Every structure is written in C-alpha cells, then in structure tokens.
A and B are shown apart, each in its own frame.
Chain A
Amino acid sequence: MSSPTISREGLGRPIKGPRALTDDWTRFWHLTYNIARNEFKLKFFGSVLGYLWQVMRPLLLFGVLYVFFVLVAHVGKGGHPGERDYGVQLLSSIVLFTFFGEATAGAVRSVVDRENLVRKIQFPRLVIPLAVVLLALFNLSLNLIVVLIFALASGVHPSLSWLELPLILAVLAVFSTGIAMLLSAWFVNFRDIQPIWEVFSQVLFYASPLIIPVETVRQKLAYGKYHKVVRGGVVHHFFTDVGLFHVLYRIYLLNPLVSIFQQFRHAMINHAAISAGQALGGWVAVAEPLAIVLCVFALGFWVFNRSAPLVAENL
C-alpha cells in the first residue's frame, strides 16, 4: 500500500514541519508587523483615553520616584556635574526600562496566549515573541518623544552624540529579544516562569541605573567600604572590604542594562554623566556587557528554535 505509484520528481523537497524561522522573510516581517500593529491599535482605540495611558505610565512612575527620591531623599543632588538634568536622566531610564519590561514580561505568555493560532496555522513561530518586542518598540518611540520634549524644556542641547541613539536602542532591543524568546519558550512547559520573571525584573529595576546613578554606585562600591574615624583630633579616611566591594561592583556592571542606560544618559542628556566605557573602566571592557547581550540572544534563539517544532502539541 505504501509503494509510490507516481514519480515524486518535481515535488522538490519535503516540507519541514513547524519551525521558528522561515524561508520567506517578507512574510515573516509582514506577520510580525501586522500582529504588533493590531495590538497597538487595540491599545490605542481600546480605551477612552487611548494612548495617553501608555505615556502616562512612565510619567506617573517618574513623578513618584522624583518626589520621593529627589525631593525627599535628595538623590541626585550630590553636586556632581554628572547630576545635571537628573530628572530627564531618570525619566529616560524609566522609559527604557518600561520598554524592557513590556518586551520581556509581555513575551512570557505570548506563545501560550496565541494557542489558537499556533495550533491551527503554519507560520514561523518566532513571529510571536518578536511581535511583542516590536509592539514595545512602538510604545518606546512614543515615550521617547515625551523624553525629548522634557529634555528640550529642561535645556538639554541637541548634540552629535545623539547619533548614538539607534545603536543604544539596538543593543537594548537585542537584549530584550533574547530574553523574550527564552521566556516565551520556557513558559510553555514551566508556568512559574511568570512569577519568577516578575521578581527578577523587579531586581533588575533596582540594580539598573534608574534612581541611583552609576557614579554613586561606583563611588560607594568601587573602592571598598568607606570609614571615617576621628582619632586624636585627626580625621582618618580609609576603606575596608575592598575586594568584596569590588566584586559587587563588577557584578553590578555585568547587567547590560547598566551600560545601556548609562550610555543613554551620557550621549543623549548630559556629557558630564560618565559613559558606559568610563563606568566599566575602559572601552575594551564594553565588550563584556555586549558579549552578555549576544550570549543571551543566542541562548534565547537556541531554546526557542529547539522548542518551536513541538510547541503546538505541548500547549
């Protein structure tokens, strides 16, 4: 019964089954774009105030943080030149982190939530987390307009270093995409990825230079635990736990968001704020967070690509 009766020449190669990627990249892009666009439209027209909410969220967070940390706790008022326009710097980091949060937390459930597509139609599975990142990118561009208005109103002057913006955003997008692929693929089999990621991104929120600038962290950590002792009328300054604190600082710097946010502050808002290179201790060291970004991306792709053929039956 199984012997072929008609030549299979001319049929080409057998189909490959469900995959993460495709041979038809135009379709891949159209799909990603249209899914993201539909979601964007839903947000825009879905509620009375429409898109205002999307812009309001980072602004509200900014307002709260600004009142408590700047006006009450006097963070960012140390008198360094790098702290000029601290408000705009804070807002910019919040906006970037909002993008990161939307792209990653939004991706966690994305494949599972689109079960009805995945189980019924063949398309490159990677489209799903990528559309989430693209949607977050749409939101980011709108939020960046607010940042721009804020910056210009605060007296930030446009400069040539603004050309670094695409590069900075590209690194951030690659990092977010890597995590988005990883989380969406893992979530299919491990449903507690969602709470774990919520906690983890909370940690990242505080471990990234949003409220506390890198300068402050460096000052407190890079040289060890600071002691000031008055002995016999003479003030002694000295540091202990130098090794431990240095390790803590290096760990802090491993987070690619530190370099990304800080470079944004440096290039876009205030040249006196230290650059990512300065924070890391030399431009060569920038390779470190970049390598992490690329590794996360590669890992995310590998995991997603491996799970893509089976995702329809594991859902």
Chain B
Amino acid sequence: MPAASSGQQSLAVAVDGATKTFRVPEERTHTLKERALHPMRRIRHHSFKALDDISFEVRRGEFFGIAGRNGSGKSTLLKCMAGIYALDRGRIWVDGRLSTFIELGVGFNHDLAARDNVVLNGIMMGLSPREARARYDAVIDFAELREFEELKLKNYSSGMHVRLAFSVAIQVDADILLVDEVLAVGDAAFAQKCFDVFNRMRDEGRTIVFVTHDMGALNRFCHRALLLERGSMVHIGEPHEVADRYLELNFGRDPLATAAAEERGGGGEARVVEAWIEDEHGERHTSVAQGRRITFKALVRFMVPVDDPAASLYVLNEEHVAIVVATSSRESERSGHFDAGEQALFSFTFDNVLAPGRYSPLVTLAHRGSGLDLMDRFEGGSSFVVTAVAANGGVIDLPVEVGVSRPETPVQPQVRA
C-alpha cells in the first residue's frame, strides 16, 4: 500500500515504545580487589526506569518540545534519540542528519584553540573535514568569539563555551536538531540570538526537538510538546496545554486542602455545602490558566428560613493574603426568600488575572446589608492552582499596555528638587 503522506506529512523522528532502564549498583566496585575479596557476593543493583514506553512522532519541519521536571527522563529520551544511550525496548527512527546539543556543550578539548575544536566537532556531527573548516568562520562569528579565537578553551568562560558549542550545533546543516536546555546559560543577548536562530530554522522547515524547563520558550516556539513525568508520558499536544500541566505537576496537589477546617464560624442558619471553580462551559477545574474567564460557585443549603442571604468570596494566596474579595451583599437585586432545606447557588465570575500559584477560597454567608451577622464561614473549598506562562512577580497580572517614546519637547519634571 503506498504511503498516502505528502511531503508535509512525512516524519522526521518516530519513537515507538521506547523503554530505558538504568541499573544502578548499590555500591560501585571499581577494583578487582573488591571483586576478589568477595567473589560470591553478587553486586546488588536496583533498576531505575528512566523511560517507560514512550511513543510519539515529530513531523518534518516541526518544532517539538519536551518538558518535564528534573529527573523526569527528558534528557535520557534525547540521548536515546541522539544514539548515545541504547534502548532496552522499543525503536527510534531518525530520518535525516542529526545535530545534537546536549548538556551544555559537545565535549571540547580544553587545551586546544577554537579552530581545532570546531573542526573536530563538525566532523563528529557528520561534516567532512573540508566542510568543517569552511564553516569555521561562520561558527566563530555567530558565537561572537572572533577576538578570542587564539585562546585555548580552558581560558574560556562557561558562557563562551556554550556559545561556541551551540554555534557548532547550528552550523552543521543538520536536518534535525536536538537541543537540551540551551537557554539555561548565556546572557540575555545570546539567548535572544538563539531564539532568532530557532525562528529562522523553523521557517526553513528544519526539525527541532527541544528539551526545556522554560514554559515561556515552549509556548513561543513549539508547535507541539510532550510532557514527561517519572519516565512516562503525561501529555502530548498543544504547548500551552503541556505548559499548564507542567505547572500543575510542579505545584503538586496539596493534601491539606482537603482536610477542611471543621471549626466553622457563624450562626449556622445556612451552610455552604461545596465551593468550586468552573470554566465557561461549566466544567469544574482545580487548575486554571491565567487569562481565562472563570466562575467561582458556592452551593448553599438553608437550615432555617432566611431572607435575602448574601455571600462573600475571599481568594487567599499562599501567604493568606486576600487577593480577590467580592460580595453579593451590595448587589442591587435582592436574593429573595429561602425556606429551610432549600438550596442557593452563588457565583462569582471574573477574568483570571491572578499570578501563577496556589490559592484557597474562603466563603462567608451573611444577611444582606450589614454583613456582620455571619451565618457561615466556609474554608473547605478545595484549593486551586493558577497556571501561567511566566511569573512576573506581582500578585496579579493585569493586562498592561507598555509604551516607550521620545518626547518631542523636553518634559520638565514636575517634582521640584
């Protein structure tokens, strides 16, 4: 059967059921003496599953992200794709020439100057010696190391090393580039340059597989992404989904949140039964992305007949500071009369401008007006996580328009010195 795939649909990388287990010896015997003294003792190993049945594919021209926490197996996966580690099970296809940039560098010889190292690394990545020598100028210029080219590499700073290594990796004309944590080192200017290169390569239709912690970069560049956790695939799909899941994993689930405080204040005329967050479609969430419109709902049950009850919502951050406070008691419309045993549903809808982090809700019930005669104080609502591409540092992230311009005439400061 002929493959119905067009050029656009063809694959650059395919991974099928990749599994990798490391055998970690409990104690390392490096000498024959230790072996000879205890010939009968078997060295105990515990195995550690770094990758468990990973399958995915990267299309030609795709910019594919791999995210995960430390120790989630993402670097191991990259090394398996690069042919540095052998798989226990599963298969990997790589169609095209590969260039790798792994663990901040490609193994330079520190006693040699840049030229010999660049040529050797070029050959390692599949160039002929002549091609490698021809690329040298481009490499050194991109790395901005022209004035240091005569220097031995041991005199380079770590940032210079990374720049040189990254330059080699992108100058070898590979079809597929595997990059591991390139943005961790190097100054902002070089990071920007790397982004520019990524953008250019993406436009040229080259395939890039990109391992990162940086959800901002993931969102900016990747077409699709994969999230790993403890060697297993958690999610594969749109970068923003992966980024949200990643942040969710990082914040973890707080077991304290469910152990709701049973000591409730208030007179007990009514009780908040449950409180939760919904999205526009009425689906409940414990994790919400920044920028989405969310609705906070509280289900209330009345023990005695109550006239015009009002509810207030307090959204507390991890420092127990109320970031959002809203109340229904000042609404012009009265809520009406509720008999004993009746239910009421209060809702609070707002655009989620909260900074990323964990929040817990507090709901109070009172009679309309004073708000002093508390009927209930409910802290049992499950805490929720706000995910965002980046944390800016404020407690909320309002949409801010930023501008800079040059005044046509000098503006006199209005503050007298």
Q: Are A4 and B84 in contact (CB under 8 A)?
A: no
**Bound Cα distance from A14 to B53, whole angstroms:** 16
Q: Mark A108-136, 1 if CB is under 8 A from B, else 0.
A: 00000010111111110000000000000
- The stretch among A155-163, A243-251, A305-313 that forms the contact with chain B is A305-313
- The stretch among B1-9, B252-260, B262-270 that forms the contact with chain A is B1-9
Contacts of B208-240 to chain A: CB distance below 8 A:
233, 236
In the complex, chain B residues whose CB is within 8 Å of the CB of A118: 84, 107
Q: Are A120 and B111 in contact (CB under 8 A)?
A: no
> Is A281 an interface position by the 8 A CB rule?
no
> Is A41 an interface position by the 8 A CB rule?
yes
In the complex, chain B residues whose CB is within 8 Å of the CB of A117: 106-107, 124
**How distant is A135 from chain B, measured CB to nearest CB, in Å?**
13
In the complex, chain B residues whose CB is within 8 Å of the CB of A5: 57
Q: Mark A6-37, 1 if CB is under 8 A from B, else 0.
A: 11111111111110000010110011001100
> Is B119 an interface position by the 8 A CB rule?
yes
**How distant is B91 from chain A, measured CB to nearest CB, in Å?**
4
> Is B125 an interface position by the 8 A CB rule?
yes
In the complex, chain B residues whose CB is within 8 Å of the CB of A18: 83-86
**Interface range on chain B (Cβ under 8 Å from partner):** 35 or more
**How distant is B64 from chain A, measured CB to nearest CB, in Å?**
14
**Bound Cα distance from A121 to B30, whole angstroms:** 25
Q: Are A34 and B129 in contact (CB under 8 A)?
A: yes
- The stretch among A143-151, A185-193, A203-211 that forms the contact with chain B is A185-193
In the complex, chain B residues whose CB is within 8 Å of the CB of A191: 30-31
Q: Are A27 and B105 in contact (CB under 8 A)?
A: no
**How distant is A32 from chain B, measured CB to nearest CB, in Å?**
10
Contacts known (A46-B111, A120-B84, A190-B32); A6 close to B100, Cβ less than 8 A: no
Contacts known (A11-B93, A12-B95, A38-B109); A4 close to B57, Cβ less than 8 A: yes
Q: Are A14 and B85 in contact (CB under 8 A)?
A: no
- The stretch among B10-18, B273-281, B387-395 that forms the contact with chain A is B10-18
**How distant is A104 from chain B, measured CB to nearest CB, in Å?**
18
Residue in A3, A8, A30, A120 whose beta carbon sits within 8 Å of that of B93 in the complex: A8
In the complex, chain A residues whose CB is within 8 Å of the CB of B81: 15
**Bound Cα distance from A34 to B123, whole angstroms:** 9
Q: Are B9 and A2 in contact (CB under 8 A)?
A: no
Q: Are A14 and B103 in contact (CB under 8 A)?
A: no
Q: Are B119 and A2 in contact (CB under 8 A)?
A: no
**How distant is B81 from chain A, measured CB to nearest CB, in Å?**
8
Contacts of B98-112 to chain A: CB distance below 8 A:
98, 100, 102-103, 105-109, 111-112
Q: Are A10 and B85 in contact (CB under 8 A)?
A: no
In the complex, chain B residues whose CB is within 8 Å of the CB of A24: 126
Q: Are A6 and B87 in contact (CB under 8 A)?
A: no
| A11 to B, closest residue via Cβ | B93
In the complex, chain B residues whose CB is within 8 Å of the CB of A190: 30-32, 35
Main secondary structure of the interface of B (DSSP, over half): mixed
> Is B120 an interface position by the 8 A CB rule?
yes
| B111 to A, closest residue via Cβ | A42
> Is A72 an interface position by the 8 A CB rule?
no
In the complex, chain A residues whose CB is within 8 Å of the CB of B203: none
Residue in A1, A4, A114, A189 whose beta carbon sits within 8 Å of that of B107 in the complex: A114
> Is B59 an interface position by the 8 A CB rule?
yes
Residues of A in contact, count (CB < 8 Å): 47
In the complex, chain A residues whose CB is within 8 Å of the CB of B95: 10-12
Q: Are A38 and B11 in contact (CB under 8 A)?
A: no
Q: Are A30 and B123 in contact (CB under 8 A)?
A: yes
In the complex, chain A residues whose CB is within 8 Å of the CB of B150: none
**How distant is B386 from chain A, measured CB to nearest CB, in Å?**
27
Contacts known (A6-B5, A120-B105); A17 close to B80, Cβ less than 8 A: yes
**Bound Cα distance from A38 to B108, whole angstroms:** 11
In the complex, chain B residues whose CB is within 8 Å of the CB of A312: 79, 84-85
Contacts known (A38-B109, A122-B100); A1 close to B94, Cβ less than 8 A: no
> Is B406 an interface position by the 8 A CB rule?
no
**How distant is B228 from chain A, measured CB to nearest CB, in Å?**
13
**How distant is A92 from chain B, measured CB to nearest CB, in Å?**
32
In the complex, chain A residues whose CB is within 8 Å of the CB of B4: 7
Q: Are A121 and B14 in contact (CB under 8 A)?
A: no
**Bound Cα distance from A3 to B56, whole angstroms:** 9
| A46 to B, closest residue via Cβ | B111
Q: Are A14 and B91 in contact (CB under 8 A)?
A: yes
Residue in A2, A12, A46 whose beta carbon sits within 8 Å of that of B17 in the complex: A2
Residue in B17, B91, B102, B109 whose beta carbon sits within 8 Å of that of A120 in the complex: B102
**How distant is A49 from chain B, measured CB to nearest CB, in Å?**
17
Q: Mark A295-312, 1 if CB is under 8 A from B, else 0.
A: 000000000000001101
In the complex, chain A residues whose CB is within 8 Å of the CB of B125: 121
**Bound Cα distance from A31 to B123, whole angstroms:** 6
**Bound Cα distance from A17 to B19, whole angstroms:** 13
> Is B116 an interface position by the 8 A CB rule?
yes
**How distant is B323 from chain A, measured CB to nearest CB, in Å?**
37
| A9 to B, closest residue via Cβ | B3
| B108 to A, closest residue via Cβ | A116
Q: Are B107 and A11 in contact (CB under 8 A)?
A: no
**How distant is A50 from chain B, measured CB to nearest CB, in Å?**
14
In the complex, chain B residues whose CB is within 8 Å of the CB of A41: 112, 116
Residue in A1, A121, A309, A310 whose beta carbon sits within 8 Å of that of B124 in the complex: A121
- Nearest 3 A-B pairs (CB), nearest first? A122-B83, A2-B55, A117-B107
Task: State the A residues within 8 Å of B (CB).
Answer: 1-18, 24, 26-27, 30-31, 34-35, 38, 41-42, 46, 114, 116-123, 189-192, 196, 309-310, 312-313
Interface pairs (26), CB distance under 8 Å: A1-B55, A8-B14, A10-B3, A10-B5, A11-B93, A14-B92, A15-B83, A15-B94, A18-B83, A18-B85, A27-B123, A30-B128, A34-B120, A114-B107, A116-B105, A116-B107, A116-B108, A118-B84, A120-B84, A121-B106, A121-B121, A123-B124, A190-B32, A190-B35, A191-B30, A312-B84
Q: A119-B103, A121-B100, A121-B107 are in contact. List 14 more A-B contacts (CB 8 A).
A: A5-B57, A8-B14, A15-B81, A15-B94, A17-B86, A27-B123, A31-B120, A34-B119, A34-B129, A38-B109, A46-B111, A116-B107, A122-B98, A313-B85
